[in-house]
Structure 1
Amino acid sequence: MDTRYVGIAELTQVPSVAVVIDVMRAFTVTAWAFARGAERIVLAESLDEALALKARHPDWVAIKDGPPAPGFDMVNSPGMLRSMDLSGRKVVQKTTAGTVGALAVKDASLVLCAGFVVAEATALLLRSRAREAVTFVVTGEDGRAEEDLACAQYIALRAAGGAPAGAAEQAAPFLHRAATSRAAEELVTGVRAGVHPDDVALCLERDRFPFAIVASRDAGVMTLRACEVPAAATEDD
């Protein structure tokens, strides 16, 4: 599998297959939303669009980065979201990096959104497209976010093959890079707003969920859905 790693600004052409990475915290939050029962997630291009969608659909759950704000139901925190019941609900999400990256590759033939929590399931889907070039979009810090690059490289490694039983040993150095990243430090020290004390730990839970997150155009908006990949369930290793 031919892979390349780019920042959002480096996307000069539409890739065939794109994997958009935002470990801390957009797509960890997305995964938790699906785990808590969300039916689908719509990505908004701006805060105003998110609020407009919420106004048209009052039963939707609106999520944003940073501190709480009027009109939004939740901030971009897996630690806070994990206690919500989202059964059958639709979610609209707007973040600084992750949603921007996904929207930047909306015309790709396959778009996956990922973090460590869905790494193996994402890798398994990529294996079925092994003959295609894969572009990993590193969304944080203009393409330099260590946690996102580490996750992208780990998923690429897993997509190249390997039994689930060996995943823990392979993952260790990549998880360490993420745990010692600038983003992790900012979350722990309170530089970023809207943070739960468990956020970093939750973002570093490898293969917490047995599904991949697939993005597609739906009625003019970018929509995320969980795609179950049963074989992604890993052994205790």
Structure 2
Amino acid sequence: MDHRFVGTAELVETPSVAVVVDVMRAFTVAAWVFARGAEKIVLAGSLDEALAWKACRPDWMTLKDGPPAPGFDLVNSPGLLRSADLGGRTVVQKTTAGTVGALAVKEASLVLCAAFVVAEATAEALRTCESDSVTFVVTGEHGQAEEDLACAQYIARRSTEPETDAAEFLRRAARSRAATELEQGLRQGSHPDDGALCVELDRFPFAMVASLEGPLMVLRPCPTPSSTGAART
């Protein structure tokens, strides 16, 4: 299996299979949203679009980067979502990097959104999709975010070498600039536990698949064949 690692801006054509990685924090948060009971996540192209969808569907919840803001129900923080009751809800998510990367490959035949918390389930999904080529979209820092690259490289290796150990990849993520900023409280709308929660390995037993449903790019959890255990919440 051929693996390519690119930033969002480097995408020149639509890949057949894409894995969009945002560890700190969009797709760690997305996994927590599903763990707290949400049915689906709608990936929005802008803050205004997110608010427009909510205006049409008041029962939907909205989530964004940064501090709380009028019209938004949730912030992009796994630590702040741990106690949320999202049973059966639809959450509209807009972030700086992760949702942008997913929307950039919305025409791909398979789009997986990933972070360390769903790494093994994502690798298993790749092992079963029978594709000769996978493009990993490294969303943070214009494709240079160390935590996203480490996660992408780990999933790529794990998809072909299932005995690959995660320790060094997790160390790289834990030492990244994003992790340092979270630890120092430099990112708005964060919780002190966010950095640690973002480098938990395989907390959840599902991959996350994004696909077009009419005009919407919708993310849903997808349990893998070997995922028989319940998520740890």
TM-score, with structure 1 as normaliser: 0.94
Q: Give the match for residue 46 of structure 1.
A: 46
Give the superposition deviation at 1:129.
2.6
Task: Tell me the alpha carbon deviations over residues 150-180 of structure 1, each in whole angstroms, 9 at most, x when there is no partner.
Answer: 0000001110032xxx56xx10000000000
RMSD: 1.2
CA contact (8 A) 1:17 1:132 kept: no
Give the superposition deviation at 1:194.
0.4
Q: Give the match for residue 221 of structure 1.
A: 216
Provide the C-alpha distance between the structure 2 equivalents of 1:204 and 1:131, rounded to a whole number of angstroms.
28
Structure 1 position 109 matched with structure 2 position 104: no
Map 1:1-237 onto structure 2 (within 5 A).
1-162=1-162, 166=163, 170-232=165-227
Provide the C-alpha distance between the structure 1 equivalents of 2:81 and 2:87, rounded to a whole number of angstroms.
13
Provide the C-alpha distance between the structure 2 equivalents of 1:15 and 1:154, rounded to a whole number of angstroms.
20
Q: How many residues align?
A: 229
Give the superposition deviation at 1:128.
1.4
Q: Tell me which moved more, 125-134 or 10-19.
A: 125-134
Provide the C-alpha distance between the structure 2 equivalents of 1:131 and 1:42, rounded to a whole number of angstroms.
26
Q: Which runs of 5+ in 1 are unaligned?
A: none
Give the superposition deviation at 1:17.
0.2
Give the superposition deviation at 1:232.
4.3
Provide the C-alpha distance between the structure 2 equivalents of 1:9 and 1:44, rounded to a whole number of angstroms.
18
Provide the C-alpha distance between the structure 2 equivalents of 1:200 and 1:233, rounded to a whole number of angstroms.
27
For 2:23, the aligned partner's letter is V
Task: Tell me the alpha carbon deviations over residues 171-227 of structure 1, each in whole angstroms, 9 at most, x when there is no partner.
Answer: 000000000000001111122100101101111110000000000001211000000
Q: Tell me which moved more, 51-60 or 172-181.
A: 51-60
Q: Which runs of 5+ in 2 are unaligned?
A: none
Provide the C-alpha distance between the structure 2 equivalents of 1:68 and 1:102, rounded to a whole number of angstroms.
23
SS in 1 for 2:129: coil
Give the superposition deviation at 1:115.
0.0
Provide the C-alpha distance between the structure 2 equivalents of 1:173 and 1:93, rounded to a whole number of angstroms.
30
Give the superposition deviation at 1:82.
1.2
Provide the C-alpha distance between the structure 2 equivalents of 1:77 and 1:16, rounded to a whole number of angstroms.
31
Task: Tell me the alpha carbon deviations over residues 135-157 of structure 1, each in whole angstroms, 9 at most, x when there is no partner.
Answer: 00000000000000000000011
| Fraction of identical pairs, as percent | 70
TM-score, with structure 2 as normaliser: 0.96
